[in-house]
Amino acid sequence: MNRRKFLLLSSLAWAGLAFRGNGIAEAQQISKRSLTLRDIARGSGYDIGCAMTTSRFEDKLFMEAVRRECSCIVAEYQSKRHVLEPSRGMFDFEGMDRLVAFAHKNKMKFRGHTLVWHAANPAWLVAELNDVPKEGGLTEYIAKVVGRYRGRVHSWDVVNEAINPADGRSDGLRESIWLKAFGTSYIDMAFHAAHEADPNASLVYNDYNTEGVWKYGDAWRSSTIEMLAGMKARGVPIHAYGMQAHLDPNDRPIDPKVLANFLQEIKDLGLRIQVTELDVRDFKLGRSVEEKNRIAAETTKLFLDVVLSLSVTDEILTWGLSDKYSWLNDSKNAPFYGGIPSPLPLDWKMVRKPMWYAIAKSIAVKTK
């Protein structure tokens, strides 16, 4: 056993204590020189990272944590279309440029999120798509944005959330403005345009709601497989399935067999599987903070162990890094979820939580 692996295993054996308590006492003992998620991920061959925004640049403690724990980042909203093209043909790349520059200065990769989505579209585009849709409104935008960052954004969520069986279509596709404008072919069009603009970028279809068991879980999974299989059969340049992984152990518990079977079908299509937006909704869980933290850690471990067992994952990103900045805490979500959610690996003071140890254990044990 080399020294690196020895250090890794002994630190994790010690970290195992965190699952019995709330993890905070143990976490506080970690010296600055001990292993970070970034170190552990590198040892196992993964990239690990989080979503963030330029407004965090002012928070020194948070930024130290990002630099310490992450080998890649994704923009939480600054590479969405309402930010990049607020008026027709008027682009604003400032926020995304600053994030990409930060990533590269710190030797991190940068994921682009997201080129085509039913949400976060500027009003002028929604009006145009409803009125006289122009193909260029989709393909020229992709060419411009992906082309600008060619070689600097290694992976793009090309289409986000195209499925929604609750809309009642037999193919399970979401009745989005894109579908209404161009029919089902908008998905292929988007991937072709992205590939043309950066032939080396990894192109991802990203979605939620396929991780757990719930009313539409099976339909969401089978519609996803049908859509991805069709794309592969037509020779569409798609390289990976992105699982958002907004885990909800209360309303959408994970059945490891169901999840593994679904992921195996994706693997059989020749696609890789990335974890793109991991967090845990704990608002209905546990009576104490300790119990909530334990459940979040166990849910994370259960999920990651299944995903990583397929050996087709390169990247694991959480949606934020510290509970202080979780989207579940923002003014829109917090009143809906109630309480103060703690869905992420670090607490408000950047102290490692049991979820941090859960990720560390999963990625240490299962190398890429």
Which residue ranges make up the site for ligand XIL (CB under 6 A)?
76-77, 160, 244, 277, 327
| 142 or 159: CB nearest ligand XIL | 159
CB 8, min distance to ligand XIL, A? 32
Task: Give whichever of 77 and 124 is closer to ligand XIL, judged by the CB atom.
Answer: 77
Closest separation between CB of residue 254 and ligand XIL, Å? 18
Given the complex with ligand XIL, which of 21 and 95 has the nearer CB atom? 95
Answer whether 112's CB lies under 8 Å from 153's CB.
yes
Q: Whose Cβ is closer to ligand XIL: residue 44's or residue 209's?
A: 209
Active site (annotated) includes residue 76? no
* Least distance CB 160 / ligand XIL (angstroms): 5
The 3-class SS string of the chain reads: CCHHHHHHHHHHHHHHHHHCCCCHHHHHCCCCCCCCHHHHHHHHCCEEEEEECHHHHHCHHHHHHHHHHCCEEEECCCCCHHHHCCECCECCCHHHHHHHHHHHHCCCEEEEEEEECCCCCCHHHHHHHHHCCCCHHHHHHHHHHHHHCCCCCCEEEEEECCECHHHCCCCCECCCHHHHHHHHHHHHHHHHHHHHHCCCCEEEEEECCCCCCCCCHHHHHHHHHHHHHHHHHCCCCCCEEEECCEEECCCECCCHHHHHHHHHHHHHCCCEEEEEEEEECCCCCCCCHHHHHHHHHHHHHHHHHHHHHCCCCCEEEECCCEHHHCHHHCCCCHHHHCCCCCCCCECCCCCECHHHHHHHHHHHHCCC
Q: Nearest to ligand XIL by Cβ — which residue?
A: 327
Q: Is 64 a catalytic residue?
A: no
Q: Smallest distance from the beta carbon of 170 to ligand XIL, in angstroms?
A: 25
Q: How far is the CB of 134 from ligand XIL (least distance, A)?
A: 25
Token digits for 342? 């703690």
- The residue among 42 and 324 lying less far from ligand XIL, judged by its C-beta, is 324
**What are the distances in angstroms from CA 262 to CA 114, 186, 224, 257, 306?**
24, 24, 9, 9, 11
Closer to ligand XIL by Cβ: residue 77 or 348: 77
Which residue's CB is nearer to ligand XIL, number 8 or number 50? 50
Residue whose structure tokens are 């954004």: 153
Distance (Å, rounded) from C-alpha 47 to C-alpha 129? 37
Angle between helices 289-309 and 256-268 (to 10 degrees): 30
Residue in 26, 211, 277, 315 annotated catalytic: 277
Name, in order, each residue with C-beta under 8 angstroms of 225's C-beta and a sequence gap of 6 or more: 262, 265, 266, 269
Minimum gap (Å) between residue 244 Cβ and ligand XIL: 5
* Rounded least distance, CB 306 to ligand XIL, Å: 21
The one catalytic residue among 26, 161, 211, 315: 161
Residues annotated as part of the active site: 161, 277
